[in-house]
Structure 1
Amino acid sequence: MSSRPPHPALQRRQLLQAALAAGSAPLWIRHVHAADTVERFALGIASGCPRPSSLVLWTRLSGPTLPAQVAVDWELAEDEAFKTVVAKGQEMALAADAHSVHAEPAGLKPDRWYWYRFTALGARSPVGRTRTAPAPDAKVSSLRFAIASCQRWDHGRYAAWADMARQDLDLVLFLGDYIYESAAISNASASGPAPRVHVGGLCRSLDDYRQRYAQYKSDPSLQAMHARAPWIVTWDDHEVDNDWAGDHSQGLEADFPQRRITAAKAYWEHMPFPKALRPSGKDIRIHEHYDWGQLARLISVDGRQWRDPQVCPKPGRGGSNTLSLKDCPDFLDPRRSLLGAAQEQWLAQSWDASRPWNLLAQQTLMARMNWQTQAGEPGVYWTDGWDGYPLARQRLLRDMAARKLRNTVVLGGDVHANYVADLRADFDAPVSAANPLLATEFCGTSISSQGLDQSRIERALPHNPHLRYGHADQHGYVQFLLRPDRLEAELRSVQELWKADSALETSARFTVESGRVGAIQGT
């Protein structure tokens, strides 16, 4: 079944609703007039992969009776009115690629904002704002960015994206679970059925995945944030299948490698990736690093394609489990890897000691989370996260420490809760000269995906003294202001998850001072 975009009249109403939810119209809202524009560009526009002289512009054509190939013109300007166009070109949007467009303007000025738009079939897209990274040797005073993940469509509205679009961010780091592959389910609550559900069944075919991306991308608040700043993205499990690891799915289906091929292609089609990252079969390289002048190195890794299967799964199943160490000694097999040997080596060589900050964007909670319920009992751990690969985590942290970096911050998502943590190579041993604190971690909660009851987190926190903060009763995102001397973090939380125009509040603030590992909670 092919994807069906929202009706143009409905989409126009959604755009206006998004503007109202954001408090003031995002830049691109003011450029949406014709029904053709809404119909042909109903899935929005986006940009990503910012380099000092280049970036990627994305859109996907929509609407009925699209030809097999469509010429799409694009423009990039130094001003919103497009009086100074600095780059333009034409791409062919092909039915074989879901009519997606990946334009790659080059020769740009570093560290500046640009505006972009597309034209096709007599229609013009909304206008987006994007920017290039600073030059590698530039002295940079700040970087404003946010991390986000886990935006399950049938678990809530996207007020968090509307709020983020009001912030003046340089960059968004999306850390996985852009879509959820699950079939439509009954999601009744005390207030009645969920206001929106997935269209279609479990994603298996290429058309299934394309339809699911089209549904998610129809949300006006998500479109607003894509059009507001460039994104750097990585995936987790739900872009393919829950808890997948390499060629192993949760259901252990024999045809899962073929499903990986379709999911990887749909992922590339719908993200602001360059053409060079087009998947080769089931493989797509999405681990990369980006430098923000002399201020920071941002490293993004892939925790799914090359990981070993989770230890001690349930009989007849793949995927995760929650187990005691005494019941599953394979936890401590040193051969097991979450990133895969080649990516581990790449990461060890990617740390940059010349810059004051290294930021590692990865999918999930890296700090140990012991779920034991009584003191003195053996540790109980969830096998799909880093706790399922403890010696691989130890290798990563020791490789990082060997580079003698000044400040390292690990960023994560996946677990639908906000955590702030201290990282060290050995969580069983006390902090000492031989086992120092190595990095600070901010694991951000979900945009909308619901998770554990907060009472369960509160019972576990006493067994995890390295966790400075833990809240599963918050949904939203984390925004950061990075300067040479400090990193400031603000945890933004939605007040009413099912209201598209819900207000957000600041649940907590933290500061990491340069040269001092550990987040300090403020007011």
Structure 2
Amino acid sequence: MGQRDVNIGRDISLRGGATRRQFLTWSALVGALAFAPELNPATASAQSGTPSSYPFRLGVASGDPLPDSVVLWTRLATDPFAPAGGMTPGVVPVQWQIAADERFTRVTAQGVELATEFDGWSVHVDVRGLEPAREYFYRFLVGPHASAVGRTKTAPAAGRPLARLDFGWASCQKWEDGYFGAYADLAASNLDVVFFLGDYIYEYAVKDEGARAGRPRPESASRETMQLSDYRDRYAMYKADENLAAAHASAPFVSAFDDHEVDNNWASQISQDDDDPVLFLNRRADAFKAWWENTPVRANLKPQGPDMKVYRRLSFGDLVDFSVLDTRQYRSDQANGDKEHAQNAETADPSRTITGPEQEKWILDGFASPSKWNFLAHQTVISDLAQGLDGDRKVGMDPWSGYEASRHRILDGARERGTTNVASIVGDIHRTIVSELRRDYQDQASPVVGVEIATTSIASGKDGADVDTTGAAIANGSPHVKYGNARRGYLRSTLTPGEWRSEVRVLDAVSTPGASVRTATTVTVPDGRPEIQLG
């Protein structure tokens, strides 16, 4: 494919109430600067030293791969720990390039986007016209400065035979709890795609203690995130981590949010502390805006105030569909005061939902896909994780165990449609849990519908242990759980038509940088049989 120049500036007229005259002025600016000497690739080089004006300190990323498209992302900041990332109000032209080789001798497409303060100086480029199942390299240029080079990959053509997909998933990266060493391992894994399943940031005030005591942080880190500037600062603080940046530059990410991107255990319009719903929706709008600004997703996911439709489906050839869910925005309030509790009439109430009716129908429709495997990629466990038996049996109210009717409808729907390879990949619980998917966990005769693997956290929960007190209690109270580990880490998988094989990658410590990563166990699920094979 020959070099292609793309005219950018698609959404400028919608930003901050811009007038048509402003749009035309900015369009002229783009045209004038697209090939100006200071934006010429020949004059820009990767930064061996980083002067104070270097704007790419938050790294680069790509995401949501399609057969002909991928999103390229960056956000300008000269100082991640300063208000507004050290940027001054205005408009910054940002040139982007995507190439078939890492040295950019075969540029496939290029163009210019305008980074503005209205969008936190973030750039989202939806590059179209790419070839399916193809590895590409990309970078951004501002003046004499070049970003790091990112690697990305498009999805295979829909329905085309695919022999193998290498993917990973991660969640829960509380900055102050430890270093993100798992991401260095992920970055070296040459994956086709990575799923991030929630809790990218934590909203709590960051105490100057623990693994990163004394490390630089924004002034706003001393308080809970409540408004747009706070959330933007928090993302900048996290993205300044070199291992996280390396992971984003290594492969396209498919991203979802959970609770901590807004407020712990929020549900629809209800905050953890039952704040005034109007005030909470204002906070949610700011949190969603910051999430979109800092995530490699398309413009059609951009929030409209406190609303943002992020559930979506990505297909990889004829091998697998991934349905990426939103289990926060449309859910009923947690039952039983959101405390560990026995399941009862409230958890079984068919009017309560974790997905909302529209998304639930969309999930069920996805089970009719002809793909070999059908994955739900989402926030928290479908399985019951009971920590006691008989009369002392209690489960969490925030996961699907507090929304039994939703679980019944989804898993019954999969069985009714004859969907044989149902899998659930999740995060949230700061431990690796491998379990059977059943509609009813108090009836061991209830058929196994699929397999669920929850990844542990990247850092949340500090160092952890192979087996901790909670893990032992879950093993005692949940016979459908076949493996557990409470170290930090992530999951790395190879999917083929014949099996789904996963490595549980863990670190013995995240409290010190540079800790080694090991495989705690492997999990294999054969085609057509929801069986868990360990070892």
Match for 1:356 among 344, 367, 372?
372
Q: Residue 128 of structure 2 corresponds to which residue in structure 1?
A: 106
CA drift of 1:196 comes to 7.5
Q: Does 1:412 align with 2:426?
A: yes
Letter in 2 for 1:511: T
Q: Does 1:48 align with 2:63?
A: yes
Q: Residue 132 of structure 1 corresponds to which residue in structure 2?
A: 154
Q: Residue 83 of structure 2 corresponds to which residue in structure 1?
A: none
Change over 3 Å in CA distance of 1:418–1:197 after alignment to 2: farther
Contact 1:37–1:123 (Cα < 8 Å) also in 2: no
CA drift of 1:324 comes to 2.5
Greater mean deviation of Cα atoms: 112-121 or 456-465 = 456-465
Q: Write the deviation string for residues 123-177 of structure 1: whole angstroms up to 9, x where unpaired.
A: 1111101010000122111000001000000110010001111112111000000
Contact 2:93–2:113 (Cα < 8 Å) also in 1: yes
Q: Residue 461 of structure 1 corresponds to which residue in structure 2?
A: 475
Distance between the aligned counterparts of 1:185 and 1:160, measured in 2? 23
Distance between the aligned counterparts of 2:528 and 2:509, measured in 1? 38
Q: Residue 241 of structure 2 corresponds to which residue in structure 1?
A: 219
Contact 1:37–1:125 (Cα < 8 Å) also in 2: no
CA drift of 1:355 comes to 1.3
Contact 1:300–1:360 (Cα < 8 Å) also in 2: yes
Secondary structure of the residue aligned to 2:472 is helix
Secondary structure of the residue aligned to 1:258 is helix
Distance between the aligned counterparts of 1:117 and 1:142, measured in 2? 28
Q: Residue 178 of structure 1 corresponds to which residue in structure 2?
A: 200
Contact 1:176–1:363 (Cα < 8 Å) also in 2: yes
Q: Write the deviation string for residues 375-422 of structure 1: whole angstroms up to 9, x where unpaired.
A: 431531111111111111111111122221131111011000110001
Distance between the aligned counterparts of 1:447 and 1:196, measured in 2? 20
Change over 3 Å in CA distance of 1:257–1:376 after alignment to 2: same
Q: Does 1:92 align with 2:106?
A: no
Distance between the aligned counterparts of 1:275 and 1:153, measured in 2? 28
Secondary structure of the residue aligned to 1:40 is coil
Q: Does 1:400 align with 2:414?
A: yes
Contact 1:127–1:227 (Cα < 8 Å) also in 2: yes
Distance between the aligned counterparts of 1:449 and 1:39, measured in 2? 31
Q: Residue 371 of structure 1 corresponds to which residue in structure 2?
A: 387
Letter in 1 for 2:366: S
The CA RMSD measured in Å over matched residues stands at 1.9
Distance between the aligned counterparts of 1:250 and 1:463, measured in 2? 28
Contact 1:485–1:513 (Cα < 8 Å) also in 2: yes
Distance between the aligned counterparts of 2:217 and 2:430, measured in 1? 19
Q: Residue 484 of structure 2 corresponds to which residue in structure 1?
A: 470
Structure 1: runs of 5 or more not aligned: 1-29, 314-319
Q: Residue 437 of structure 1 corresponds to which residue in structure 2?
A: 448
Q: Residue 504 of structure 1 corresponds to which residue in structure 2?
A: 517
Q: Residue 268 of structure 1 corresponds to which residue in structure 2?
A: 292
Q: Write the deviation string for residues 198-254 of structure 1: whole angstroms up to 9, x where unpaired.
A: 823100010000000000000000000100000001010000000000010011111
Q: Residue 60 of structure 1 corresponds to which residue in structure 2?
A: 75
Contact 1:113–1:131 (Cα < 8 Å) also in 2: yes
Contact 2:176–2:213 (Cα < 8 Å) also in 1: no
Contact 1:154–1:195 (Cα < 8 Å) also in 2: no
CA drift of 1:430 comes to 2.6
Greater mean deviation of Cα atoms: 168-177 or 65-74 = 65-74
Q: Residue 4 of structure 2 corresponds to which residue in structure 1?
A: none
Distance between the aligned counterparts of 2:66 and 2:384, measured in 1? 34
Distance between the aligned counterparts of 2:341 and 2:87, measured in 1? 53
Change over 3 Å in CA distance of 1:73–1:310 after alignment to 2: same
TM-score by length of structure 1 reads 0.88
Q: Does 1:389 align with 2:403?
A: yes
The count of aligned residue pairs is: 477
Match for 1:289 among 300, 303, 313?
313
Contact 2:71–2:127 (Cα < 8 Å) also in 1: yes
Distance between the aligned counterparts of 2:265 and 2:334, measured in 1? 9
Match for 2:302 among 278, 285, 290?
278
Distance between the aligned counterparts of 1:347 and 1:129, measured in 2? 31
Secondary structure of the residue aligned to 2:360 is helix
Contact 1:486–1:511 (Cα < 8 Å) also in 2: yes
Letter in 1 for 2:286: T
CA drift of 1:36 comes to 4.4
Q: Residue 507 of structure 2 corresponds to which residue in structure 1?
A: 494
Letter in 2 for 1:491: V
Distance between the aligned counterparts of 1:280 and 1:456, measured in 2? 40
Change over 3 Å in CA distance of 1:402–1:196 after alignment to 2: farther
Letter in 1 for 2:423: V
Q: Does 1:321 align with 2:339?
A: yes
Distance between the aligned counterparts of 1:511 and 1:424, measured in 2? 18
Q: Residue 380 of structure 1 corresponds to which residue in structure 2?
A: 394
Contact 1:134–1:293 (Cα < 8 Å) also in 2: yes
Letter in 1 for 2:417: R
Q: Residue 3 of structure 1 corresponds to which residue in structure 2?
A: none
Secondary structure of the residue aligned to 1:478 is strand
Distance between the aligned counterparts of 1:65 and 1:248, measured in 2? 34
Distance between the aligned counterparts of 1:265 and 1:282, measured in 2? 9
Match for 1:300 among 324, 327, 335?
324
CA drift of 1:456 comes to 2.4
Letter in 1 for 2:399: G
Q: Residue 22 of structure 1 corresponds to which residue in structure 2?
A: none
Identical-pair percentage:
36
Secondary structure of the residue aligned to 2:336 is coil
Distance between the aligned counterparts of 1:324 and 1:351, measured in 2? 31
Contact 1:297–1:352 (Cα < 8 Å) also in 2: no
Structure 2: runs of 5 or more not aligned: 1-44, 79-85
Secondary structure of the residue aligned to 1:202 is coil
Distance between the aligned counterparts of 1:200 and 1:188, measured in 2? 15
Distance between the aligned counterparts of 1:207 and 1:196, measured in 2? 18
CA drift of 1:370 comes to 1.4
TM-score by length of structure 2 reads 0.86
CA drift of 1:106 comes to 0.3
Secondary structure of the residue aligned to 2:222 is coil
Contact 2:387–2:476 (Cα < 8 Å) also in 1: no
Change over 3 Å in CA distance of 1:84–1:352 after alignment to 2: farther
